[in-house]
Structure 1
């Protein structure tokens, strides 16, 4: 019977070892494929819409005359009472070929009395570099004193110029 017990113990030990080895094989990871994964194409950035062209006021010159190009020939900051006072507004667009709609405006103020002398605005289509002219005139003469003109583009004041009538 001793022999039978030893054989039985040996059989149980062998079966246990086989079971353990069998379990370990099942736990092992599946073999790794040696074929590289398919190459991914680089992500293409989505096409961005071009930015719309913008316009800006680049200069404001005052004088008592303008040429055919709407530019002041001789800039001035002092005027006689009976002068017509011109404001030549230089503009440019971010794309020289684009036409940019906008509204240019001027507000003329007598600073000493804090009174608005005149306001004017125009719908414009600005293209590249250009000039737009505004003016004020008073045949019986401007009161002496300090004045200013505020230039606006699309409702926002973008430049101011001070001047005097003597």
Structure 2
């Protein structure tokens, strides 16, 4: 019987050793460095569009436009008036983006319009903002951008 107990002890010891060996954390193989190859070509950046040589020379806000698109400047408009933002430009432009944004005194955008300019020399672009309901009374800002950059002087008007 002693033999059996010793045999059992050896079997249990052997099984424990095998279990421990199975639980042993595998050593991670150290990666071999990749073979030297030619350096990857530098990423090419797309060419920036040629800067527009057009510039904004004036911004006028009013409620009526003449045949030549000129607008008489007004700082106070009525609640039922249309708002015309007249932007004068000078220079050459190919696909330049001209934007006009009308913002109410609380920061809410009351209107935003965009035009693509393809011009040479001087020109005038008018943006007309209308409202089916009367405009809320208060102060408004008119911001004009050319290709995303502020252009002209920010105008303020008041609706009464």
Q: Under a length normalisation based on structure 1, what TM-score does the superposition of the two structures give?
A: 0.62
Partner residue of 1:46? Answer: none
How far, CA to CA, are the matches of 2:78 and 2:132 in structure 1?
12
8 A contact 2:143–2:150 mirrored in 1:
yes
8 A contact 1:84–1:138 mirrored in 2:
yes
After superposition, what is the alpha-carbon deviation per residue over 1:15-51, rounded to whole angstroms, capped at 9, x for unaligned? xxxxxxxxxxxxxxxxxxxxxxxxxxxxxxxxxxxx9
Partner residue of 2:38? Answer: none
Cα deviation, residue 139, structure 1: 3.0
Judged with a 3 Å threshold, the aligned counterparts in structure 2 of structure 1 residues 65 and 138 are, in CA distance, closer, same or farther, namely same
Partner residue of 1:126? Answer: 119
Cα deviation, residue 126, structure 1: 2.1
What secondary structure does 1:147 align onto? strand
Partner residue of 1:75? Answer: 73
After superposition, what is the alpha-carbon deviation per residue over 1:135-156, rounded to whole angstroms, capped at 9, x for unaligned? 1111320011000110000011
Partner residue of 2:9? Answer: none
| Structure 1 alignment gaps of length 5 or more | 1-50
After superposition, what is the alpha-carbon deviation per residue over 1:68-92, rounded to whole angstroms, capped at 9, x for unaligned? 22110x2101000000010110000
8 A contact 2:53–2:93 mirrored in 1:
no
How far, CA to CA, are the matches of 1:150 and 1:53 in structure 2?
19
2:107 paired with 1:108: no
For 1:1-150, list aligned pairs within 5 A.
Answer: 54-72=53-71, 74-93=72-91, 98-111=92-105, 113-150=106-143
Partner residue of 2:157? Answer: 163
After superposition, what is the alpha-carbon deviation per residue over 1:94-113, rounded to whole angstroms, capped at 9, x for unaligned? xxxx55431100111002x2
Greater Rg by CA: 1
What secondary structure does 1:142 align onto? coil
8 A contact 2:69–2:124 mirrored in 1:
yes
8 A contact 1:54–1:100 mirrored in 2:
no
| Structure 2 alignment gaps of length 5 or more | 1-49
How far, CA to CA, are the matches of 1:52 and 1:106 in structure 2?
20
Instruction: Count matched residues.
Output: 110
8 A contact 2:93–2:117 mirrored in 1:
no
